[in-house]
Structure 1
Amino acid sequence: MSANVIGFSFVLIGIFLILGKVVRLHSKWLRDLFLPSSIIAGFIALLLGPDVLGRLAEMLVPDVSFLAGGLIPDDILSVWSTLPGLFINIVFATLFLGKTVPSIKKIWGMAGPQVVMGQTVSWGQYVVGILLALFVLTPVFGMSPLSGALIEISFVGGHGTAAGLAGTFDELGFSEGADLALGLATIGILSGVVIGIFVINWGFRKGFAKHVGGRSYFTDEERERIGESYGFEMERDVREAKAIEPLAFHLSLVAVAIALGYVIQQALIGLEALTWGSWTDVYLFPYVPLFPLAMVGGVIVQLFFDKLNIHMYIDQNLISKISGFALDVLLVSALGTLSLAVIGDNLLPFLLISIVAIIWNVFAFLYLGPRMIPEAWFERGLGDFGQATGMTATGLLLMKIADPDHQTPALEGFGYKQILFEPFVGGGLVTAASLPLIYQFGPVVFLLISLAITVFFLVFGLVHFGGLRKNKSNS
């Protein structure tokens, strides 16, 4: 494949991003759903590709050959199909760059209930997903047992994680899982926003949402920023490295983080081959993708800068822009190459997985939330609910609606929560390892592990933080 084709594939991504921006600007209902321009752009590319326009042309105007494969050339689609697995490494390498890593004690004091709640929801998604796979998806529809991990990968992990695991799905013989995961991630975002706003209105009528209406929900600028963002920014005093262009310097930091992740990955693969892998003939690390270890590499880089007291040279806003660019490219390329045929062939299982995931998430928020979060459970739980349906930005916008003047610790707690949440589930090490673990040890073993961890966090949250809530209500 020529360099010109690769270059032109990025040109087309830019064009589709502009189209997505224009469509979003002129579609109020899309803005109200807070869908980012990149997701809209990806769906426009999908509509103009072989699975939609190409098939329609074959049915309606079979003699028009240039429309047979849609308007996007096969060579471009081939390049796009490789991009998610590459750019997800950039997204995860930047997660902790530019953010001062606070002490565990401080994180726990501020975000302990949300950490426990988030872990309960995520591990619970494995439990309900694998149970669904064992009793319905595999015996009735003949799907791979790996389908039990789709809920956590798609709903907590989101589009980025789903696309980034495409290679792992392929290696483990469940290629259709990547397309199903992307489709489920879209269902997650839509359900998170629609159900979240409905629940806020219900909570306001019932008296749970006490801070709604502190001022108008969003200014135009805030609406645009939240709809286009995937996280939150931290203001800090930043100095520029004078001997190198700031963008090049920060890209170099991301590259170092990814390189460290690669070294760790290869070291783990080698260690496994020399020890327990050769003893048991069970291998996991060759199937674990690079991106969660790139995140570890980013933490190492940040700790190194903190240790030398030169952290002020890392501009978190610039790191955020690099991450946003990588995620935009990832989403357009992943959605543009999504196979609708796979979803159509598995439509009933797809709907069942979606329904089970939504029921679990709503149950966890409305039933477990008030029993596990001792203070401002509604506002803080909304953030966890939004993140559990596929996007950090969904959690942010729901908290913004429910608490526009930041009268609760929801936003700060949500931010601190990520430090003890994202390294493990929601696209972290556990999410990346779940597929090879199910493949090597079977779904029942992973179900028992997930159930034990879910019960642990559930009991701890109900007893410890639930007890704090009762003490506050009695005092």
Structure 2
Amino acid sequence: MTADQIGFSLLMLAILLYAGKWVRMHWGPAQKLFLPASILAGAIGLILGPGVLGAIAAAVGGEDAAMAQGVIPESMLSIWSDLPGLLINVVFATLLLGVPLPNFNRVWSLAGPQLAFGITLGAGQYVIGILIAALVLAPFFGVPIMAGALIEIGFEGGHGTAAGLQGTFAELGFADGADLAVGMATVGVVSGIVFGIILINWGVRSGKSAVLDKSVDSIPHDQRRGLVAHDDRPVSAGNMTVRSESIEPLTLHFSFVAMAILVGLGILEAMSWVESVTWGAGENGVELLSAVPLFPLAMIGGLVVQQLLTRFDKHNLLDRDLMVRIQGFALDLLIAAAIASLSLTVIADHWAAFLMLGLAGIAWNVGMFLWLAPRVIPKYWFERGIGDIGQSMGVTATGLILMKIADPDNKTPAYEAFGYKQMVFEPFFGGGLVTGLALPIIYNFGPWPFFGVMLALVVLGIGSGLLYFGRLKQDY
């Protein structure tokens, strides 16, 4: 693998992303589903690769046909498959950079109900998944028991987390799990948008929505195409905190990201050393942290760097808006690369497991939204709960899209409550420590200890929501 090959692969990935944006602007179904250009770009790459175009050409003209391997060379797919594992560290390092710690009382009042609901959704995905894997998939289909973690990894974690755990899956003897997780993430994003829009229309018709009186069909055409009207375009996507003749602001902010990742790497190395001299020592030692990925700890590194900047940086050099742009850039590349390099053969080989886990995950999330959200969230439950169900099926961006549709003028505290909840939720679920530890724990100790902990969290989430948070009086 040469530098030229890596550079050309990045150029072609960028072309795919533009193609994905073109499809979003001109294809009605993509607009109705609010599909991100990165997913469309990955789908185009997947179609042009050996799994679709190559398979069709081989079936028609034989293995020696001109396009039997597709039009994307294997070397490029290999580079794309390695990108997500690197870019996910950038995505998670930026999550808490530039985010100040808010007032505790307001956080508790707004984030508490959201957290109870979110933990129920996230932990419940493990409970449902492990039951299906242990009772059906492992004994009847020979699928490794670790498949029980696929719903949370794909739905709650998304493409970045799924692809970032590729090394962990391979190290634990379930290499196919990475492709299944990326496929599950695609199902999660699409189903999250589809069911989210269905629920929003239902909320309008049934009077559950506190702010909408029109269906999503009334959304402006520019918004459906993913465009910003010319007169509404902001002057800048971020603030220039330094003069570019000294250092480009984007370069400076990438330095902050690098610091966060290195702090996370230091934490991981320290934890691995502790393990090597304690429970992991000797021939009979249990190694858990060797399979833990870097990205959840990069998020902790971001929190550390942010606190240091808050304490010592008197010039406010870090701009949150610019950090979000870096995060979005890395996430777009990550999603496109992960989907384009997906192995359809793996999904076809495990279609029963894929189908059962996907349907179970959708049923759990939608069911909890309809039953639990109105009982746990004391005010504006529909607008606030729709963000959580979007995130629990299709990552944070999906949740934000649905909240934007359900509350376009920001008349409810949905965004604020969602953001506060994420500060507590993200370090553990959706790619956090729980997600990172789930696979090695299940591999080393079997499914039931982890199942018991997750079941306890589900009970805690439902119980605290029904008995405490759902009874809070909120004036906002």
TM-score (norm 2): 0.93
- The residue correspondences of 1:223-242 to structure 2 (distance < 5 A) are 223=224, 239-240=241-242
Question: Do the aligned residues in 2 keep the contact of 1:154 with 1:185 (CA within 8 Å)?
Answer: yes
Please name the residue that 2:27 is paired with: 27
Is 1:421 matched with 2:425? yes
Amino acid aligned to 1:126:
Y
Q: CA deviation at 1:276?
A: 2.1
Question: Partner of 1:460: helix, strand, or coil?
Answer: helix
State how far apart, in whole Å, the 2-side matches of 1:465 and 1:382 are: 18
Q: CA deviation at 1:246?
A: 1.1
| Distance verdict in 2 for CA 1:117–1:226, change over 3 Å | farther
Question: Do the aligned residues in 1 keep the contact of 2:26 with 2:225 (CA within 8 Å)?
Answer: no
Q: CA deviation at 1:420?
A: 0.8
Question: Partner of 1:313: helix, strand, or coil?
Answer: coil
Please name the residue that 1:182 is paired with: 182
Please name the residue that 1:111 is paired with: 111
Please name the residue that 2:54 is paired with: 54
Please name the residue that 1:254 is paired with: 257
Please name the residue that 2:167 is paired with: 167
Segment drifting more, 312-321 vs 67-76: 312-321
State how far apart, in whole Å, the 1-side matches of 2:295 and 2:380 are: 34
Question: Partner of 2:372: helix, strand, or coil?
Answer: helix
Please name the residue that 1:271 is paired with: 274
Task: Render the CA deviation track for 1:353-407: whole Å, top value 9, x for unaligned.
Answer: 1111011001110001111111111111111111111222221222222222222
State how far apart, in whole Å, the 1-side matches of 2:414 and 2:295 are: 28
Q: CA deviation at 1:238?
A: 5.9
Amino acid aligned to 1:333:
A
State how far apart, in whole Å, the 1-side matches of 2:326 and 2:30 are: 25
Is 1:394 matched with 2:395? no
Question: Do the aligned residues in 2 keep the contact of 1:226 with 1:397 (CA within 8 Å)?
Answer: no
Match 1:450 to one of 451, 454, 460: 454
Question: Do the aligned residues in 2 keep the contact of 1:138 with 1:145 (CA within 8 Å)?
Answer: yes
Q: CA deviation at 1:223?
A: 4.3
| Distance verdict in 2 for CA 1:218–1:101, change over 3 Å | farther
Structure 1 unaligned residues grouped into runs of 5+: 228-233
State how far apart, in whole Å, the 2-side matches of 1:449 and 1:63 are: 50
Amino acid aligned to 2:180:
L
Amino acid aligned to 2:344:
L
Amino acid aligned to 2:383:
E
State how far apart, in whole Å, the 2-side matches of 1:126 and 1:63 are: 42
Task: Render the CA deviation track for 1:54-104: whole Å, top value 9, x for unaligned.
Answer: 111111122764311110111111111111111111110111112212244
Q: CA deviation at 1:179?
A: 0.8
State how far apart, in whole Å, the 2-side matches of 1:211 and 1:55 are: 49
Segment drifting more, 46-55 vs 320-329: 320-329
Please name the residue that 1:231 is paired with: none
Please name the residue that 1:365 is paired with: 369
Q: CA deviation at 1:135?
A: 0.6
Segment drifting more, 403-412 vs 169-178: 403-412
- Percent sequence identity over matched residues? 51
Structure 2 unaligned residues grouped into runs of 5+: 229-235
Please name the residue that 1:151 is paired with: 151
Amino acid aligned to 1:71:
V
| Distance verdict in 2 for CA 1:93–1:225, change over 3 Å | farther
Q: CA deviation at 1:3?
A: 1.1
Question: Do the aligned residues in 1 keep the contact of 2:154 with 2:188 (CA within 8 Å)?
Answer: yes
State how far apart, in whole Å, the 2-side matches of 1:236 and 1:7 are: 27
Question: Partner of 1:212: helix, strand, or coil?
Answer: coil
Q: CA deviation at 1:346?
A: 1.0
- The residue correspondences of 1:66-77 to structure 2 (distance < 5 A) are 66-77=66-77
Task: Render the CA deviation track for 1:15-46: whole Å, top value 9, x for unaligned.
Answer: 11111111111112102211111110001000
Please name the residue that 2:18 is paired with: 18
Question: Partner of 2:472: helix, strand, or coil?
Answer: helix
Segment drifting more, 437-446 vs 212-221: 212-221
TM-score (norm 1): 0.93
Is 1:245 matched with 2:248? yes
Please name the residue that 2:232 is paired with: none
Please name the residue that 2:39 is paired with: 39
| Distance verdict in 2 for CA 1:235–1:80, change over 3 Å | closer
Question: Partner of 1:96: helix, strand, or coil?
Answer: coil
Question: Do the aligned residues in 2 keep the contact of 1:424 with 1:431 (CA within 8 Å)?
Answer: yes
State how far apart, in whole Å, the 2-side matches of 1:235 and 1:61 are: 50
Q: CA deviation at 1:226?
A: 8.9
Amino acid aligned to 1:370:
P
Question: Do the aligned residues in 1 keep the contact of 2:237 with 2:322 (CA within 8 Å)?
Answer: no
| Distance verdict in 2 for CA 1:407–1:236, change over 3 Å | same
Question: Partner of 2:417: helix, strand, or coil?
Answer: helix
State how far apart, in whole Å, the 2-side matches of 1:219 and 1:278 are: 61
Is 1:98 matched with 2:98? yes
Question: Do the aligned residues in 2 keep the contact of 1:20 with 1:40 (CA within 8 Å)?
Answer: yes
Please name the residue that 2:360 is paired with: 356
Please name the residue that 1:210 is paired with: 210
Please name the residue that 1:230 is paired with: none
Q: CA deviation at 1:241?
A: 5.7
RMSD across aligned positions (CA):
2.2
State how far apart, in whole Å, the 1-side matches of 2:365 and 2:327 are: 27
Question: Do the aligned residues in 1 keep the contact of 2:204 with 2:213 (CA within 8 Å)?
Answer: no
Task: Render the CA deviation track for 1:202-237: whole Å, top value 9, x for unaligned.
Answer: 22222211311379854455445599xxxxxx9997
Amino acid aligned to 1:77:
L
Question: Do the aligned residues in 2 keep the contact of 1:93 with 1:258 (CA within 8 Å)?
Answer: yes
Question: Partner of 2:394: helix, strand, or coil?
Answer: coil
